[in-house]
Amino acid sequence: MSKTKFMGSIGRIFIASFLLCLAVVVIYPLLWMVMNGFKSNGDMLSSPFSWPRELNWQNYVKAWNRGVSSYLTISILVTVTSTLTTILISAWAAYGLTRVAIPFNRLMTTLVLGGLMLAPAVALVPLVKLFQALGLYNTYWALLILYTAFRIPFCTFLIRSYMLDLPREVDEAAEMDGASPAATFWRVILPMCRPIIVSAVVLNVLFTWNEYLFAMVFTSGGDFQTLPVGLTSLMSKNGTDYPVVFAGMVIAAIPVVVLFFASQRYFIRGLADGMGK
């Protein structure tokens, strides 16, 4: 065996070992969470790393009846609405910044992308005062507006990066066929951007689904709590039924896992094409 082949084999073994270790690091916490969701509280505290003696499905029923069902409904409503709004606005903004001749294009691009530099925690206190003054505090609208506003710069950046590489000939062909800019966007450009749109959707869903800070502050003590905030209410200072908490966490994770596996082909392709340009 030549030195080149030997080094190539060593490299493949190293990469395979690294990926295997990475898979264990990612999968084991999820498996541990699922296992503990089936245990009794005593088994969980005495042997947290062992397999459950029996599958206690009642933990999932308890978690569902203790508010996870309403938290799940609110999270789905907020996530779907904010994601659709964010993607539509971001796609329109990216189309305008890349395919339409508008005054001060570079300045507008800088201002939009400058939103990536704004830390949500810095604006927390002024936003609380603003939403209280507008009567939007502790409502669905508070989360919808916040999640949409803070995700538009990032999604615009992704979609704009992808649109920059699309051939201009498709716009010219659509214009020759009599299509307006709006028709060109909906019927030509947007379908061509499907991979990056899917990637932006998945990333936006992950952010909104798991976001805790805004959800905790702007729905404090109300009936509009999302899953990250609602799951904390399952824990009590006087005694926590940990398997029920883990069961709630499993229920919360299932929609995101299903979404990722259903869209992973477009997700990986969109990120590779969009962020690499």
Distances (CA, A) of 196 to 84, 157, 224, 256, 277: 14, 11, 31, 18, 12
pLDDT of 51 reads 81
Residue 9 lies in a domain: no
Residue 30 lies in a domain: no
pLDDT of 76 reads 92
Residue 10 lies in a domain: no
Number of domains in the chain: 1
pLDDT digits (tens, 9 = 90+) for 51-110: 887 788 888 888 898 888 888 999 999 999 999 999 999 999 888 888 777 777 777 777
Residue span of the structural domain in which 130 resides: 67-274
Residue 146 lies in a domain: yes
Query: Contacts from 79-84 at CB under 8 Å and sequence distance 24+?
Result: 79/205, 79/208, 79/209, 81/144, 82/143, 82/144, 82/147, 82/148, 82/151, 82/204, 82/208, 83/201, 83/204, 83/205, 83/208
Q: For the packed helices 105-114 and 140-163, what is the interaxial angle rounded to 10 degrees?
A: 130
CATH number of the domain that residue 129 is part of: 1.10.3720.10
Residues of the chain with pLDDT under 70: 1-8, 221-222, 236-239, 266-277
pLDDT of 238 reads 47
Residue 36 lies in a domain: no
Burial of 151 (0-12, 13-18, 19+ CB in 10 A): buried
User: Which pTM value belongs to this model?
Assistant: 0.82
pLDDT of 24 reads 83
Percent of the chain with pLDDT over 90: 10
Q: What is the DSSP string of the chain?
A: --HHHHHHHHHHHHHHHHHHHHHHHHHHHHHHHHHHTTS-HHHHHH-TTSPPSS--THHHHHHIIIIIHHHHHHHHHHHHHHHHHHHHHHHHHHHHHHHS--TTHHHHHHHHHHGGG--GGGGHHHHHHHHHHHT-TTSHHHHHHHHHHHHHHHHHHHHHHHHTTS-THHHHHHHHTT--HHHHIIIIIHHHTHHHHHHHHHHHHHHHHH--HHHHHHTTTSS---HHHHHHTT--TT---HHHHHHHHHHHHHHHHHHHHHHHHHHHHHHHHHTT-
Burial of 170 (0-12, 13-18, 19+ CB in 10 A): middle
Residue 174 lies in a domain: yes
225's torsion region: left (phi>0), alpha (psi -120 to 50) or beta?
A: beta
Q: Which of 188, 202, 169, 185 is nearest to 269 (CA)?
A: 202
Residue 5 lies in a domain: no
Residue 207 lies in a domain: yes
